[in-house]
Amino acid sequence: MDLSVVSFGKLKTAGLRDAADHYIRGVKTWASFEEIELKPQSVPDKSASTRTRIQGIEGQELLARCAKLPKSGRPLILLDEGGKALPTLDWAKQLKEFENENGGAIFVVGSSLGFSGEVRARARARWSLGPQTLPHELARVVLLEQRFRARSASHGHPYHNEGSG
């Protein structure tokens, strides 16, 4: 299985890079994995027109970079506050389906401005990490943990022990 995470910005908060690397090592036990960090555009003001313009620029860059990935036909899954929240075992089921259909998936954490309409239209799904708002750096680490947890559940690894409490 080929799994990729594409996100805007670097992990700068103390400890988050270490946490991300921990889960990446775990994911690599079961899948090839690539993490791509894109540079977010600067946001000079919060007007709707500026937001739309920057979303468009970032969207073009995102789609161009995804097209260069190996197996670029893999489904694009957006981590989005308006997406569907899934329990871990559903993550595992979906990952298995993506593996069987397309050899994997590309997960995307957008910039602070979210995704352009073009990116949303190209996405296979929009998933949420829950109803709370998370900083983008933390959302990436939570995404990596959930991918590791889902893969561990699929492979009978003891890390995920749902229902044991």
Per-residue pLDDT of the chain (165 residues; tens, 9 = 90+): 788 999 999 999 989 999 999 999 988 888 888 999 999 999 999 899 999 999 999 999 999 999 998 877 899 999 998 899 998 889 889 988 988 888 889 999 999 899 999 999 999 999 999 888 888 899 999 999 988 888 877 766 666 566 554
* Amino acid sitting at position 129: L
Q: What is the pLDDT of residue 5?
A: 94
Q: CA dihedral defined by 42, 3, 107, 62, rounded to 10 degrees?
A: 40
Q: What is the pLDDT of residue 124?
A: 95
Contacts of 159 by beta carbon, 8 Å cutoff, 6+ apart: 26, 148, 149, 152, 153
Q: What is the pLDDT of residue 158?
A: 60
